[in-house]
Amino acid sequence: MLRFLLFALAIGNAGASHAQTAPFASDIVSYTGLHLAAHEGDVDEINRLIAAGADLNIRDRSLRTPAHIAAFASHDDALIALANGGADMNTLEDGIYDVLTIAAVANDPEMVSLAMQLGNKPDLITSVYDGTALIAAAHLGHHDVVARLVAGGAPLDHINNLAWTALIEAVVLGDGGKDHIKTVQILVEAGADKSIGDRDGVTALQHATSRGYTEMVDILK
């Protein structure tokens, strides 16, 4: 019964980590001003609009700011221009994601580091699961992103509303492959608390053991 429940939760959370919704074509054709400039990575236009007094935190219909759009489009220079102009780097769109978590899910290490440099807080609570960018990255096995978030001071032992930490998610929602193994290694070496259990008290080590993830087991021991 427990294994079935964990599987059901894993499926639900797996969808959630990808629940960020990039702008649809219908959104893009409606964009003007900073949203359009951010989508196109047009730094000159962004700077012109800022000088003209444009609202840096204007929202589209999904509550995305121009900074969110720049993140979805992987336009680093556009994000820098927006942040330098005074854009709020810690706003959440309607899926409850910030720039940092968008970049983490997209496996964009450079933008992850940049977002933190520009003031995006690594301890921000994001998603309907009350998680963090680190949990999202660990779940997906994005170990380069995990390493950068750890270096940036992301909380290692935050527990989301599924009662899972980044370490537990890397095991429970991972596939036991090299990317998730590396993720577990980074988290353990950084000092993640291996003793934390889920709602049933099952630790990351116990989850790894039950799944036959021998390399993870060796790291977690």
**End-to-end Cα spacing for the chain:** 26
At residue 76, the pLDDT reads: 98
Nearest one of 78, 67, 85, 131 to 105, comparing CA atoms: 131
Quote the mean pLDDT of the chain: 93
At residue 20, the pLDDT reads: 83
Q: Are residues 130 and 37 part of one domain? A: no
Residue range(s) defining the domain that contains residue 125 = 1-20+96-221
Q: Are residues 134 and 104 part of one domain? A: yes
pLDDT value at 112 more than 90 = yes
pLDDT value at 10 more than 60 = no
Q: Are residues 55 and 12 part of one domain? A: no
Q: What is the pLDDT of residues 27-67, one digit of tens each?
A: 999 999 999 999 999 999 999 999 999 999 999 999 999 99
Q: Are residues 46 and 126 part of one domain? A: no
Q: Are residues 83 and 29 part of one domain? A: yes
At residue 8, the pLDDT reads: 41
Give pTM, 2 decimals. 0.91
Q: CATH number for the domain including 157? A: 1.25.40.20
d(CA 170, CA 140): 7
Taking residue 42's Cβ as centre, other Cβ atoms within 10 Å add up to 18
At residue 68, the pLDDT reads: 98
Q: What is the pLDDT of residues 148-193, one digit of tens each?
A: 999 999 999 999 999 999 999 999 999 999 999 999 999 999 999 9
Q: Are residues 7 and 43 part of one domain? A: no
Q: Which of 94, 121, 140 is the last residue of a domain?
A: 94
pLDDT value at 126 more than 50 = yes
Q: Are residues 182 and 75 part of one domain? A: no
Q: From the centroid of its chain, how far is CA 61?
A: 21
Under 8 Å between Cβ of 194 and 204: yes
At residue 13, the pLDDT reads: 43
At residue 7, the pLDDT reads: 38
Q: Are residues 45 and 104 part of one domain? A: no
At residue 4, the pLDDT reads: 34
Q: Are residues 154 and 57 part of one domain? A: no
Provide the pLDDT confidence category of residue 19 given band limits of 50, 70 and 90. Answer: low
- Side chain identity at residue 180, one-letter code: H
Q: Are residues 131 and 51 part of one domain? A: no
Is the model more confident about 165 or about 4? 165
Q: Are residues 210 and 136 part of one domain? A: yes
Please give, one letter per residue, the 3-state secondary structure of the chain.
CHHHHHHHHHHHHHHHHCCCCCCCHHHHHHCCHHHHHHHHCCHHHHHHHHHCCCCCCCCCCCCCCHHHHHHHCCCHHHHHHHHHHCCCCCCCCCCCCCHHHHHHHCCCHHHHHHHHHCCCCCCCCECCCCECHHHHHHHHCCHHHHHHHHHCCCCCCCCCCCCCCHHHHHHHCCCCCHHHHHHHHHHHHHCCCCCCECCCCCEHHHHHHHHCCHHHHHHHC
d(CA 152, CA 164): 21
Quote the longest CA-to-CA distance of the chain: 60
How many domains would you assign to the chain? 2
Q: Are residues 42 and 80 part of one domain? A: yes
